[in-house]
């Protein structure tokens, strides 16, 4: 007999083929060449024959057709000791019997259980629709493994699942994969750690960044001799110059941006004169007051600035859509440095030194009268002001906390330091020093931006003198300008993503 070659003898010797079952002779291993006078089973039926067995007290066979057609040996209790199903992937088995399926999990047409649910493989054969023992999803190996001994981890990166995600590579796991950013890239979209914002322009400066670091505003010049124009940058649009819907813009600067990036404020020279402006996509540059500056709060509803036209000196103003521009009084030589996100606190510099304005306290000078103090930035709630105080010939970065706490910022060996930006919670402060910029936190102290970028895989050798202007609310993204060596571009606006 040739149907199961050595296997049939093994089964007979162990009582695994029931008495009275049809014997098959003259069949090849693929069931070809059966003698015409004999009954040849389907592949599934043969697999059932090879796999089914029951314990001594027997069990019930499945109802169905005759052996070889996917049925069982009978419609009820097994007719003899050891009776089992011969069905096309049938699932009946004797009481207490475990199926010994040919091929492990699936055998027989459609991938049913071999001779009974989930038997142990004897021959390694698979029925139609099934998978070889140890294959992915066959149930014999743990998920994610394959091979005869289930020791081979299936390579989930083989299909290049990260191929459509730029600047990333695939890291294989167990039944999973992860798209990991290449060195020098970061975030869900694997954006560059360091990115220049105005390629093709001569000079540019990033003045401010919105809360989550997705929008930067600043100033750009076509050439060093041309006038500056305000721009707004996003990853999707690139740098776009801001225009008025009603009159030409001779020149201008964008100095602040709302939390969501939809509102920009600054100052510009229009055909009608020099103005503080508020910009949105719908309105374009819109005059809100005569003035040289404009700073917007977090939700974009309040703008502050300085009007230099009155004869008695510079006047601070505060604008809302409901009140228009309100005069806050004269302050000799005043210029605004920032407005808190909540709109309650204005900081800046005057002929008398740095100042902080609130509606409750009015204008309060900060720093020592003998020092020339400049206030450049303020935390989101107005509680902490930062800037620089000239002690002798060199500036020293400082923090001022309400009600009256003035402290030089400890930046180690760094010299000529100025604090130019602060995170919303006040825990991260950024600024400049001699030939480089720094990021300060209470946990790590001051660290140079060039060192941080190098640690994160960025080649900083083409750049000289990073000057940070502002930092995102969470303290992880900064903007400013940097000189690009040997490029002819000069100073360029940048964004640096320093988070994990």
User: Are residues 375 and 276 both part of a single domain?
Assistant: yes
Task: Decide: 229 and 240 in contact? Cβ < 8 Å.
Answer: no
Residue 500 pLDDT level (bands cut at 50, 70, 90): confident
Boundary-marking domain end, from 111, 130, 149:
130
Residue 139 pLDDT level (bands cut at 50, 70, 90): low
pLDDT digits (tens, 9 = 90+) for 484-496: 998 777 799 999 9
Q: How many domains does the chain have?
A: 2
CA dist 126 and 379 (Å) reads 69
CA dist 328 and 318 (Å) reads 7
Range of the domain at 279: 193-497
Provide the whole-model pTM: 0.71
For the domain that residue 319 is a member of, what is the CATH number?
Answer: 2.130.10.10
pLDDT digits (tens, 9 = 90+) for 9-31: 333 333 333 333 334 434 444 44
Question: Mean pLDDT over all residues of the chain?
Answer: 78
CA dist 42 and 13 (Å) reads 23
At 486 the pLDDT is 82
- Sign, CA dihedral 326-331-333-334, equals negative
User: Are residues 96 and 225 both part of a single domain?
Assistant: no
User: Are residues 103 and 222 both part of a single domain?
Assistant: no
Confidence check: pLDDT of 465 > 90: yes
pLDDT digits (tens, 9 = 90+) for 220-263: 998 777 899 999 999 999 999 999 999 999 999 999 999 999 99
Long-range contacts formed by 167-173: CB under 8 A, 24+ apart: 167/191, 167/192, 173/144
Boundary-marking domain end, from 99, 130, 161:
130
pLDDT digits (tens, 9 = 90+) for 359-409: 899 999 998 777 889 999 999 999 999 999 998 889 999 999 988 899 999
Whether 148 is covered by a domain: the verdict is no
Whether 228 is covered by a domain: the verdict is yes
Boundary-marking domain end, from 130, 153, 169:
130
- Token look-up 């006047």 returns 315
User: Are residues 288 and 415 both part of a single domain?
Assistant: yes
Whether 79 is covered by a domain: the verdict is yes
Whether 149 is covered by a domain: the verdict is no
pLDDT digits (tens, 9 = 90+) for 256-297: 999 999 999 999 999 989 999 999 999 999 999 988 889 999
Burial of 184 (0-12, 13-18, 19+ CB in 10 A): middle
Task: Decide: 297 and 342 in contact? Cβ < 8 Å.
Answer: yes
Whether 345 is covered by a domain: the verdict is yes
Whether 241 is covered by a domain: the verdict is yes
User: Are residues 221 and 125 both part of a single domain?
Assistant: no
Question: In angstroms, what is the C-alpha Rg of the chain?
Answer: 39
User: Are residues 110 and 223 both part of a single domain?
Assistant: no
CA 419 from chain centre, in angstroms, equals 29
């Amino acid at each position: 007999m040739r149907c199961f070659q050595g296997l049939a003898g093994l089964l007979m010797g162990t009582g695994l083929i029931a008495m009275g079952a049809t014997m098959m002779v003259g069949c090849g291993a693929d069931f070809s060449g059966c003698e015409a006078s004999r009954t040849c089973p389907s592949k599934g039926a043969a697999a059932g024959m090879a796999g089914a067995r029951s314990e001594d007290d027997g069990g019930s066979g499945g109802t169905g057709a005759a052996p070889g057609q996917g049925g069982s040996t009978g419609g009820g209790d097994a007719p003899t000791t050891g009776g089992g199903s011969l069905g096309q992937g049938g699932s009946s088995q004797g009481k207490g019997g475990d199926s010994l399926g040919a091929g492990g999990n699936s055998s027989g047409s459609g991938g049913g259980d071999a001779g009974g649910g989930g038997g142990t493989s004897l021959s390694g054969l698979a029925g139609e629709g099934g998978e070889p023992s140890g294959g992915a999803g066959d149930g014999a190996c743990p998920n994610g493994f394959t091979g005869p001994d289930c020791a081979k981890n299936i390579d989930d990166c083989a299909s290049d699942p990260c191929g459509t995600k730029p600047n990333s590579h695939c890291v294989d796991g167990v039944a999973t994969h992860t798209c990991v950013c290449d060195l020098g890239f970061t975030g869900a979209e694997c954006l560059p750690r360091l990115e220049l914002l105005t390629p093709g322009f001569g000079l540019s400066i990033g003045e401010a960044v919105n809360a989550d670091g997705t929008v930067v505003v600043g100033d750009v010049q076509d050439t060093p001799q041309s006038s500056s124009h305000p721009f707004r940058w996003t990853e999707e649009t690139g740098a776009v110059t801001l225009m008025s819907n009603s009159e030409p813009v001779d020149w201008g600067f964008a100095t602040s941006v709302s939390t969501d990036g939809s509102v920009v404020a600054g100052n510009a020279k229009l055909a009608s004169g020099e103005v503080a402006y508020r910009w949105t996509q719908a309105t374009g540059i819109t005059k809100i007051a005569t003035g040289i500056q404009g700073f917007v709060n977090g939700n974009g509803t309040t703008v502050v600035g300085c009007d230099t036209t009155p004869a008695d000196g510079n006047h601070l103003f505060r604008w809302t859509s409901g009140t228009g521009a309100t005069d806050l009084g004269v302050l000799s030589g005043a210029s605004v440095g920032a407005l808190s996100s909540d709109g309650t606190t204005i900081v800046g510099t005057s002929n008398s030194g740095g100042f902080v304005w609130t509606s409750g306290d009015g204008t309060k000078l900060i720093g020592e009268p003998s020092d020339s103090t400049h206030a450049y930035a303020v935390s989101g709630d107005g509680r902490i002001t930062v800037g620089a105080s000239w002690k002798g010939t060199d500036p020293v970065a400082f923090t001022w906390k309400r009600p009256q706490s003035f402290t030089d910022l400890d930046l180690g060996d760094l010299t000529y330091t100025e604090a130019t930006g602060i995170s919303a919670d006040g825990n991260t402060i950024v600024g400049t020093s001699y030939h480089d910029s720094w990021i300060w936190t209470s946990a790590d102290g001051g660290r140079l931006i060039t060192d941080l970028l190098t640690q994160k895989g960025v080649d900083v050798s083409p750049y000289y003198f990073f000057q940070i202007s502002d930092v995102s609310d969470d303290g992880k993204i900064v903007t400013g300008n940097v000189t690009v060596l040997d490029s002819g571009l000069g100073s360029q606006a940048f964004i640096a993503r320093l988070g994990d």
